[in-house]
Amino acid sequence: MSEEPPALTAAEELALARLALDEGDLTHAADHLAAALVLAPTLPDTHETLTRIAAASGGGLDLFPLGQRAHIGAVVARAHLLAAAGRPAEGLDLLVAATGHAPGVDWAAVPWVTDPDLAGRLDPERCARILMQVCAAAPDPVPRIGRAPLQPYLTLARHAVAAYPRHALLLGAASALARRLGEVTLAVTWASRGVRLAPSKLGEVWLGYAYRSAGRTREALAALERAVGHDPDDLAVYADIAGTLADHGRLDQALGWIDRALARDPTFDCAVHTAHRLRFLRDGDVGHLVALADFTRDHPDDSHEHTDLAESCRSRPWLGQVTPATGAMVDALRRALAADGLPDAAVHLDSLEPPSAMRTVTAAVPGLYVEVTGVADPDPREPRRATECRLWRYDGTTAAPTLPTPSTAAADRVRQLAHPAWPHPPAAYDAAVGLATLDLADLLGLLVHPPEPPPTALGRVLTGQDPSLWVRCAQVWACLGLLHHRTDEEWATSTRRRVLVELIWGVEDWITEAALFALVTAAWVDPAVRADVAGLVAERLADVAAVAQDRPVPIAVSLAHLALATPAVDPTTTALAHRLLVAPARAGRPGRLGRAWRRLTTVLRRRRRRPVRPG
């Protein structure tokens, strides 16, 4: 099989374009020119060649037609030719479309866009619409590193405001763009002027956003409330007001605004999303988030993307992340890593810890000496209930897997998918569909033979910071894969339910947590199984609490968090979970859990922002 030829450079594409032009082959000249524009959109030679092609073809527009599959370079070339033909507004429309497609490219950094005379040749209302299109294509705010390609549009806005200083819509649109690009003072100035000239709902919204970005909350709220006065039926503004109030700790007032919106339309998506998020903030009841997940599933055609569910789950145990393990063994592992791999002289255990913990730590710190001085009752080497799915066998206090290693393909699949964080449980379920084709034997084998971390930044971080977290990731995703096993089977008698239930009642282990999380996830995505899963979670937590009366249970805190993440769990189980969480001395020192995760999240996470309405 022949190798793909290397991609051409902009200079090479231009050379081919000029050669085709000299031969009179205008179609191929245009194709190579479009390719060069993508590679070097501001290169003077590119634009000089485009001018030659236009001159040779009587304008060149026919060489760069638009269509459903138009090449982005052809779209940009046509934009420049439209501007040269005295149709700059149409050209700007196409440049903005290119910016929306590839916002990090300097499509607009060309002289005709930043020409001070351009704005005067544009209708001010059309110019405002063009700036609004730029805003719709840009994040809010635009990260500093991504602002340069949008600066030519802000220069156009400055020139347009200078040319039409009393056009309210233009002032507001210019304010919205300035705010996104960090020019907050300018945004406030322009929006204020626009509102004074022609008070309107949209103008007040732009002003409210500008004030909010400037940290002037009281004035922002006043502007948004005036917007409601202009249009009491625009419920998105109610949600904006509620979000702003909540961000400043005024939760009761925020909920008041959301209740007003829902009284007008109980199905309005922005209000529903905000309501559930704020109610969860108020009382911590996961039922609000489950209801939001249900609403999102049942209303796939919302007005725009919402992130309230992901925001609410972010950084919360099991709702948005794997909880780091606790116990003496992983504490010794973290101390060894902090000491550049030098282990303590010995770890003395009064009772056995989970087999995954024992094997992970001894593998990561080969020189660590572990002494188990006793085996407390109930015996942690025995399953909590009779099961046919026994993953571990013991020789004294040493555990070994009972299953063979999984296939290389299965290990690679999990290595590609496993991650310690997810937006919310339904998103984790959806992502795990990539494991649906794995055999049951492979999925179970992955639990006791987790693959090596991937050769990626994530893998290097986990290896260096906490190898135990990677093992837990692999186990969690293998259990999520079990949820996709034979989905044609009815839940109550399905293989996936039977295996997961056997896993939660097996030997106390990290696998118990992973399997229980998979069951909880099933309840999030399928209301029909919620009562069943809630009952299983209640039974398993009650058993943990009973065992914890006699000996330490390192997985108890994690299972308590899982119970609090379970849809439709009963109040008695919720109260028991809270009691386990406030008894860290018996249940596993959760403070260390939080510190371990924070060390990792400084490297793994990027800050996400809740999008506001376009404008």
- Residues 433, 451: contact at Cβ < 8 Å? no
| Residues 279-294: tens digit of each pLDDT | 999 999 999 999 999 9
Q: Does 297 have pLDDT greater than 50?
A: yes
- Residues 472, 325: contact at Cβ < 8 Å? yes
Q: Does 3 have pLDDT greater than 60?
A: no
| Residues 198-247: tens digit of each pLDDT | 999 999 999 999 999 999 999 999 999 999 999 999 999 999 999 999 99
347-349/370-372 β-pairing: parallel
Distance CA 353, CA 39 (A): 58
Q: What are phi and psi of 348, to 5 degrees?
A: -105, 120
Q: Is the peptide bond before 103 cis (omega within 30 degrees of 0)?
A: no
Q: What angle do CA 550, 553, 557 make, to 5 degrees?
A: 125
HSE-CB of 602 using CA atoms within 13 angstroms: 6
Summarize the confidence of residues 535-555 as an average pLDDT.
Answer: 95
347-349/398-401 β-pairing: unpaired
Q: What are phi and psi of 270, to 5 degrees?
A: -60, -40
Distance CA 352, CA 502 (A): 21
Distance CA 565, CA 593 (A): 17
Smallest CA-to-CA distance from 568 within 595, 516, 533 is with: 533
Residue with tokens 């704005």: 119
Distance CA 536, CA 530 (A): 10
DSSP 427-461: HHHHHGGGGTTS-HHHHHHHHHSPPPPPSSHHHHH
| Residues 356-381: tens digit of each pLDDT | 999 999 888 887 888 888 888 899 99
Distance CA 235, CA 59 (A): 48
Q: Which tokens sit at 213?
A: 């970005």
The pLDDT of residue 614 is 38
3-state secondary structure of 372: strand
- Residues 402, 392: contact at Cβ < 8 Å? yes
Summarize the confidence of residues 264-279 as an average pLDDT.
Answer: 94
Q: Does 341 have pLDDT greater than 50?
A: yes
The pLDDT of residue 337 is 80
392-395/398-401 β-pairing: antiparallel
User: To which H or E segment does residue 176 belong?
Assistant: helix 168-180
DSSP 529-574: GHHHHHHHHHHHHHHHHHHHTTS--TTHHHHHHHHHTSTT--HHHH
Sequence ranges of the domains in the chain: 328-604
347-349/392-395 β-pairing: unpaired
Q: Does 585 have pLDDT greater than 60?
A: no
The pLDDT of residue 150 is 97
3-state secondary structure of 401: strand
User: Residue type for 492, please?
Assistant: A
Q: Which tokens sit at 446?
A: 């992955």
Smallest CA-to-CA distance from 148 within 23, 41, 300 is with: 41
| Residues 138-162: tens digit of each pLDDT | 988 999 999 999 999 999 999 999 9
Q: Does 344 have pLDDT greater than 80?
A: no
Q: What are phi and psi of 409, to 5 degrees?
A: -65, -40
**Long-range contacts of residues 216-225, Cβ cutoff 8 Å, at least 24 apart:** 216/188, 217/244, 217/248, 220/244, 221/245, 223/195
What DSSP designation does 63 have?
A: G
Distance CA 73, CA 71 (A): 5
Summarize the confidence of residues 60-67 as an average pLDDT.
Answer: 90
DSSP 273-328: HHHHHHHHHHH--THHHHHHHHHHHH-TT-SS---HHHHHHTTSBTTTBPPPP-SH
The pLDDT of residue 592 is 45
Summarize the confidence of residues 408-418 as an average pLDDT.
Answer: 95
3-state secondary structure of 25: coil
The pLDDT of residue 611 is 38
Q: Does 415 have pLDDT greater than 90?
A: yes
- Residues 507, 382: contact at Cβ < 8 Å? yes
Residue with tokens 């501007």: 83
Q: Report percent pLDDT > 90 for the chain.
A: 79
User: Which region holds residue 399: left if phi is over 0, alpha if psi is between -120 and 50, else beta?
Assistant: beta
| Residues 424-452: tens digit of each pLDDT | 999 999 999 999 999 999 999 999 999 99
The pLDDT of residue 459 is 87
Widest distance between CA atoms in the chain: 91
